[in-house]
Amino acid sequence: MNHFDYKNGELFCEDVAVADIAKVVGTPFYLYSKATLTRHFQAFDSGFSMIDHITCFAVKSCSNIGILSLFSGLGGGADIVSGGELYRALTAGIDPKKIIYSGVGKTEEELRYGLESGILLFNVESEQELQRLDAVAAEMKMKAPIAFRVNPDVDPKTHAYISTGLAKNKFGIPIQDALDLYIQANEMENIDVQGISCHIGSQLTLISPFVETLRKLKVFTELLVEKGIAIKYLDLGGGVGITYDDEEPPHPQEYAKAIQEELEGLQVTLILEPGRVIVGNAGIMVTKVQYTKTNHGGEKPKHFVVVDAGMNDLTRPSLYGAFHSIAVVRQKDTPLQTVDIVGPICETGDFLGKDRDFPLVEQGDLLAVESAGAYGFTMASNYNSRPRVAEVMVSGSQFQVIRARETRESLIQGEIIPQFDE
Ligand code: LLP
């Protein structure tokens, strides 16, 4: 459930008409509902209230500090994958003791920054990373708290680009090789082994792959205990899916129940890294119709609605063939037409929706691209030298820009016309 609803044929975000925001902010923009963000965070987090746990929001899904600070206020931590995300999380006021750091390619500088900041755990993804972290920690006269990210070889049954827990994926350490590494790490001066972690993929619509993963981790954890290696944290990653179209993902509470049942008897603090399930349906992207056109010459006429947002602003349709529902902000009773909704970018792959039965729209109409809160703005680029769009948050009857629209000047910031000696 979210707080984007029609009232008298007009789309509202909580108590604010989306069209009123567009008048002030211009288009395109991302729009988030504070009540929905809060509700989704709490619905997820409260599912685990019976056990010791930390909900570490996956910053990569939506990294605006206005949103991170909201989750921080609700008791959330952060799952980060870069020094940039660590900076955002700390700036937003997230407790470093609730920050965990994943990712296969952490640089020395990033490891140092994580250690300096006193984060809870590094999720180490290779033997070389372990050695590098040990060396950096030694230099800093510290002990680095770690978990290994193991790759359980479980099929998450999702899009190939976003499955991460299969043996053929680059992530984690194959579970059969992990024991040796744990033993090695346990003997290292500057490493403090504390946990085990995994993340098998994103946009999962089934609970069973999570349960299968947890079973494998449990067996492995028992093996570690036998070797005298105590595990304090078990991190199950993120991945719970949302409804974009007709998917039927598990309700977060249902997911929580299944995980808790499976965890029974294990004395660990559970770490969760949800992203999409919290923010995905708490945000939309609003765009304006620039032109409509019909190309004849094919078997049948092809109708296009050209809008002012493109694949640089929301890349999921182009990159993954992902479906995002698109709706008119002011409902119309014009006849339906099958259209492609496309952006201004010079690429055929620049579309937001294909073959949609859509009411006839005209120049200036506003459209809402739904379920855009996760991996929307965070994956936006400046391709075609387009300034990144504004981000706006609504709370009740108020709205606030939480990231200003970039300007032409910001596009070339840092660029230099070189002056070489001839
Ligand atoms: N933890 C780790 C280590 C991850 O790699 C990810 C996502 C998450 C947590 C959060 O997963 P979530 O709960 O959001 O499913 N750009 C793609 C999604 C890539 C996901 C990458 N990892 C998309 O737009 O669908």
pLDDT at 166: 65
The list of the chain residues with pLDDT below 70 reads: 159-168
Q: Are residues 114 and 90 in the same domain?
A: yes
Q: Are residues 95 and 185 in the same domain?
A: yes
Token pair, residue 93, equals 């006021």
Prediction pTM value:
0.97
Q: Which residues line ligand 1 (CB under 6 A)?
A: 58, 61, 79, 102, 162, 164, 199, 202-203, 237-240, 273-277, 316, 320, 374-375, 379
Q: How far is the CA of 347 from the centre of ligand 1 (A)?
A: 26
Mutating to test ligand 1, I would choose from 164, 273, 352, 381 the residue with most ligand atoms within 8 A of its C-beta, which is 273
Look at residue 270 and tell me if it is in a domain.
yes
Look at residue 213 and tell me if it is in a domain.
yes
pLDDT at 183: 96
Q: What is the CATH number of the domain that holds 388?
A: 2.40.37.10
Boundary residue ending a domain (211, 246, 276): 276
| DSSP H helical ranges for 119-231 | 127-139, 175-186, 208-226
Annotated catalytic residue 346: yes
What domain range includes position 168?
Answer: 34-276
pLDDT at 162: 62
Q: Are residues 249 and 325 in the same domain?
A: no
Domains in the chain, number: 2
Q: Are residues 194 and 287 in the same domain?
A: no
Identify the residue whose C-alpha is closest to ligand 1 atom 6.
238
DSSP 382-408: -TTT-PPPEEEEEETTEEEEEEPPP-H
Q: Are residues 204 and 308 in the same domain?
A: no
Q: How far is the CA of 153 from the centre of ligand 1 (A)?
A: 17
Output the CA–CA distances (angstroms, integers) from residue 203 to 18, 42, 172, 250, in the order listed. Answer: 28, 19, 19, 11
Quick: pLDDT tens for 67-110: 999 999 999 999 999 999 999 999 999 999 999 999 999 999 99
Q: Are residues 45 and 84 in the same domain?
A: yes
Q: How far is the CA of 6 from the centre of ligand 1 (A)?
A: 30
Q: Are residues 160 and 223 in the same domain?
A: yes
Report, in angstroms and rounded to the nearest whole number, the Rg of the chain calculated over CA atoms: 23
Q: Give one word for 319, left, alpha or beta, with left for phi > 0 and alpha for psi -120 to 50.
A: alpha
Quick: pLDDT tens for 126-179: 999 999 999 999 999 999 999 999 999 898 877 666 666 666 677 789 988 999
Boundary residue ending a domain (254, 276, 298): 276
CA distance 408 to 415: 13
Q: How far is the CA of 300 from the centre of ligand 1 (A)?
A: 40
Residues contacting residue 295 through CB under 8 Å, at least 6 positions apart: 301, 302, 304
